[in-house]
């Protein structure tokens, strides 16, 4: 028991459960953000926990207070990204799929790409590996399953002859654009391509 602890008791008003929760959540988010940036830039495997700690301004040990392992940290980052994807694009709300909604989705997708470039970078660099896919199996099925269904539904409504193929194709195009934007964000003509894409739809 150090002097510090003692002082804490006498001079600081005790935090409420809620405050503790807030602090914790804030710290967790901070660590995740720092880790995401480093993972995106240098790769997951080549980013040591120690570096994350340094960038986050905390000790190595503390990270293990919030995440049980490095892989767990990765998983939470990836899942947060997927959740963000869902909520940002309001996928769940898209039930009657009209043209405007698809266009909104396209717009949203590309806007998200611009804002969350780091996340996409990390995502694309890992999605090729079976280990990652396994890690996110359920979550990915949920997210992409939903999107996929809605796209198929949309193309069916449009009277397309191969709605499944078209849906796959459209999603592939999204990711192609994503990758190229990530590799060369300065020069890749994202806005112009966004327009072309919407026109075609």
Chain residues 50-69 in contact with DNA, contact rule CB under 7 A: 50, 58-62, 64-65, 68-69
Candidate list 47, 109, 132, 194; residue touching DNA; CB under 7 A: 47
Q: Which does 68 bind (CB under 5 to 8 A by kind): DNA, a copy of itself, none?
A: DNA
Is residue 20 close enough to count as binding a copy of itself by CB under 8 A?
yes
Is residue 33 close enough to count as binding DNA by CB under 7 A?
no
Is residue 12 close enough to count as binding DNA by CB under 7 A?
yes
Looking at the Cβ atoms of 20 and 26, the one nearer to a copy of itself is 20
* CB of residue 46 to DNA, shortest distance in Å: 6
Measured CA to CA, the distance from residue 69 to residue 155 in angstroms comes to 43
Can you say how many angstroms the Cα of residue 178 is from the centroid of all Cα atoms in its chain? 13
Size of the site for a copy of itself (CB under 8 A): 54
* CB of residue 95 to a copy of itself, shortest distance in Å: 26
**168 phi/psi in degrees, rounded to 5:** -60, -45
Is residue 46 close enough to count as binding DNA by CB under 7 A?
yes
Stretch that binds DNA, among 15-23, 104-112, 140-148, 171-179 (CB under 7 A): 15-23
* CB of residue 126 to DNA, shortest distance in Å: 15
Measured CA to CA, the distance from residue 61 to residue 146 in angstroms comes to 39
Site residues for a copy of itself per CB under 8 A: 1-2, 4-6, 8-11, 13-17, 20, 40-43, 45-46, 121, 124-131, 133, 162, 164-166, 168-169, 171-180, 182-183, 188-189, 192-193, 196
């Amino acid at each position: 028991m150090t002097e510090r602890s003692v002082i804490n008791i006498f001079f600081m008003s005790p935090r409420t459960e809620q405050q503790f929760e807030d602090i914790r959540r804030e710290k967790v988010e901070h660590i995740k953000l720092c880790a995401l940036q480093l993972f995106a830039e240098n790769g997951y495997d080549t980013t040591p926990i120690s570096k994350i700690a340094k960038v986050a301004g905390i000790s190595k040990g503390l990270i293990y207070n919030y995440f049980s392992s490095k892989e767990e940290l990765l998983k939470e980052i990836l899942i947060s990204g997927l959740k963000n994807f869902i909520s940002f694009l309001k996928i769940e709300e898209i039930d009657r799929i009209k043209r405007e909604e698809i266009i909104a989705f396209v717009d949203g997708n590309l806007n998200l790409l611009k804002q969350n470039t780091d996340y996409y970078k990390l995502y694309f660099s890992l999605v090729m590996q079976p280990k990652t896919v396994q890690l996110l199996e359920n979550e990915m099925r949920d997210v992409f399953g939903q999107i996929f269904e809605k796209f198929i539904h949309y193309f069916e409504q449009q009277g397309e002859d191969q709605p499944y193929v078209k849906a796959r194709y459209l999603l592939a195009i999204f990711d192609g654009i994503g990758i190229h934007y990530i590799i060369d964000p300065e020069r890749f003509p994202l806005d112009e391509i966004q327009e072309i894409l919407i026109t075609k739809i």
